[in-house]
Structure 1
Amino acid sequence: MNNSLSLTNAKHDPKGLKNPKVTTQGQQLPTKSKLYSSNGTKNYSTSTDAQQPLLQLGFRINEKLIGTGSYAKVKRCIREIDNKEFAVKIIDRDKAPSDFVTKFLPRELDIIRILDHPNIIKVQHILETKSLTLIVMEYASNGDLLDYINKTTRLQESVARRMFRELCDAIYYIHFRNICHRDLKCENLLLDNHLRIIDPPPSDNKKNMIEKKILSRTFCGSAAYAAPEILRGQE
């Protein structure tokens, strides 16, 4: 991983903080990405693997794993028309719990398909095969923030300041859309020339929670980062 990130010289446009109706690039917030069909997902119900539907879209999978979990793995893929690198998250619905497949996964897909911000990893395509859900997204070439800190042992103040400002910008954007991330941690902050948030978990509607004074009762996030009272099941 490259330790000489060019974050200190990167330009930052804070328009998203001043005017919540635009992104930091000054673009109107989309209601749905034009990359998706009416139901938001391209279906390949006759396919049984990840390669076939991706090839039909012009992507070639690199078999080397970027990350892995209980029922999901992430690999690099190449868009053949321009050799640009992307990442593809491959979720095996047959291995996942039924409540995740029927409740949490659809909510996650609804969220990630509408996010469009320079400090959030953007989803390009969502595909479904007979048993897999494939999420093609931007690829951050410098890994995550935890790996970067472990390699460099510390951040220069100018770099940390820029990262924190970009993180606040992205959080403001998702909060304006009534989305709570609920799993912000170094492993979910990726790096290229900027800091990029990834993996917003299925979220409760922040506006409804505030107006109705409702507390979220669903555990969400990572146990290693959770408060002790959450792990004990206290309210």
Structure 2
Amino acid sequence: MHSIIYIMRHIDIGGHVDIPYKKVGITGSGKATLTSRLQQISNTKSPIKAQCVAAWEHSDARAVESALHSFMEESRVEGEWFLDKEDTLVERMQPIMSLIGAKPIQIEESEDSYTKNVIKKETEARQKSDHILLGEVSDLLDKPLRSSSRNSGPTFFSEDKELTYYVNARKSGKHHLSIGRSKGIFEEIRDFLETNGYDVDQSHKGHAKVLNIGTSIIADVINLIEKGFRDS
């Protein structure tokens, strides 16, 4: 019986090719079955290896897989493989899987030194990019805010408004700005930002977020909140 939904990708262990595709599939129960499926897809004598990046358990994995495939039809490349140019598929699927009660499976780190090296380089490149973005946004803020570069991306802390601004960076340069600690005041902050011309969405956790905006707009939104929210 199929009970695992997984997301898999191919990586070039030589580090020369960026492969923007993800496979969304299902397999039997248990981590051993997931591992064997990974080995089946990955050719051990090829520099292109398969890596599982996320997996969940669900009693009706086949129905979930079918629904996900239909949902992502426009990005289908071939069979169960989909274009994930922004590398955000796992992130986008997490709230869906949580909503349907799918149980996350902890993915074990690869023991392959080549694969480990590729993942390390990817992490270092993302951290460098996030650090640059943090500096660019900081330079555009009207007043300095305490900041840090976390795994989730550049983060700014407002003690005055008691809010936290999380920047979820995208390769396209169109980033997402999430406003942490805004769940209890979502409608108020949504109305304030929409009055000033910004479209506001609500995350599955209930806080406000502004999607697909560039660096300067991120700073503009933060400046607007810091200067005018609840001050009028």
TM superposition score category, shorter chain reference: under 0.3
Higher helix share: 2
Between Structure 1 and Structure 2, whose CA radius of gyration is higher? 2
TM-score (norm 2): 0.26
TM-score (norm 1): 0.26
Higher strand share: 2
